[in-house]
A = this chain, B = another copy of it.
Amino acid sequence: MLHTLSIESTGQGLVDITAPVQSVVSSSGTREGLCTVFVQHTSASLLIQENADPSARQDLESWLNRLVPGNDELFTHTAEGPDDMPAHIKSALTATSLGVPVIASRLALGIWQGLYRCEHRRRPHSRRVLVHVA
């Protein structure tokens, strides 16, 4: 079963998509199996991260921003703005696809795990996230 989600952002940051992905799993009728999440973009990505304290996600984002700053003199791919090439690199360092087992019709995430769609561009974007359940 395959479903496409459109996930909005208000700017750079992590958006929790655990609930909408779980909804797809629930409506698939699959009790035990595998859910694969895939983002159809190269300047947005996926991450499983701590869902309890928002400061952990904020620190991760700050750390990535420092590791991959815009206006790096190394970059030649600059036509789409100073946050475009860092977005591609951050996407490469995190995940474009993630497989999560399904147990008892639920995403088998750990207690402190949330599933996030990361927006690496500064402007708001709607991103297509595919959810495959089998």
Contact = CB atoms under 8 A, between A and B. Distances in A.
The bracket for how many chain A residues form the interface is: 35 or more
User: Is chain A's binding surface mostly helix, strand, loop or mixed?
Assistant: mixed
A113 B40 contact: yes
A24 interface: no
Interface string A11-38: 0000000000000000000001110101
Number of copies of this kind of chain in the complex: 3
A103 B2 contact: yes
Contacts of A91: 49
A105 interface: no
19 contacts: A2-B32, A2-B101, A38-B100, A42-B48, A42-B50, A42-B113, A48-B96, A56-B85, A58-B76, A59-B77, A59-B89, A60-B85, A60-B89, A63-B89, A92-B93, A92-B94, A96-B113, A97-B98, A101-B130
